[in-house]
């Protein structure tokens, strides 16, 4: 799924694509690109970068869930933050870096607070 493609899908369409990917993974269907990606993730030389990528993915997932739990659309959240829906979509897909100030505003708009755990 390309960046441009993802920004114009509804939440339901994204969920359907994710479900299709899950079925493909479970059935053992894997392409050359996926095999190459899997090898990259398994290479110890890439461990630090992979860990950072997964941490970012966890944050993106948390943002998405917070918005859904608040019952907000991307447009409604964007209006609350004084930004555009496309910016919210990019944040939720990990396409933009998020500042702590924006993260705090995003959380507050969803009725949440930020908690940081140092590991």
Specify if 80 maps to a domain. Answer: yes
6 contacts 14 by C-beta, under 8 angstroms: yes
CATH number of the domain residue 72 falls in: 1.10.260.40
Instruction: Tell whether 52 is covered by a domain.
Output: no
Give the global pTM: 0.65
Q: What is the pLDDT along the chain (119 residues), one digit of tens a residue?
A: 444 455 567 888 888 888 887 787 777 777 777 778 888 888 888 889 888 888 888 999 999 999 999 999 999 999 999 999 999 999 998 888 899 999 999 999 999 999 988 87
Residues in the chain: 119
In a domain, 26, yes or no: no
Cβ 60 vs Cβ 66: under 8 Å: no
Range of the domain at 115: 57-119
How many structural domains comprise the chain?
Answer: 1
């Amino acid at each position: 799924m390309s960046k441009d493609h993802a920004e114009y899908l509804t939440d339901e369409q994204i969920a359907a694509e994710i479900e299709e990917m899950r079925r493909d993974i479970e059935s053992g269907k894997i392409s050359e690109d996926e095999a190459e990606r899997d090898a990259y993730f398994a290479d110890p030389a890439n461990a630090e970068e992979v860990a950072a990528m997964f941490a970012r993915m966890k944050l993106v997932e948390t943002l998405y869930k917070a918005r859904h739990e608040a019952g907000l659309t991307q447009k409604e959240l964007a209006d609350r933050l004084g930004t555009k829906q496309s910016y919210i979509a990019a944040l939720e897909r990990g396409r933009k870096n998020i500042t702590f100030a924006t993260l705090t505003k995003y959380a507050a708009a969803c009725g949440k607070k930020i908690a940081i755990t140092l590991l």
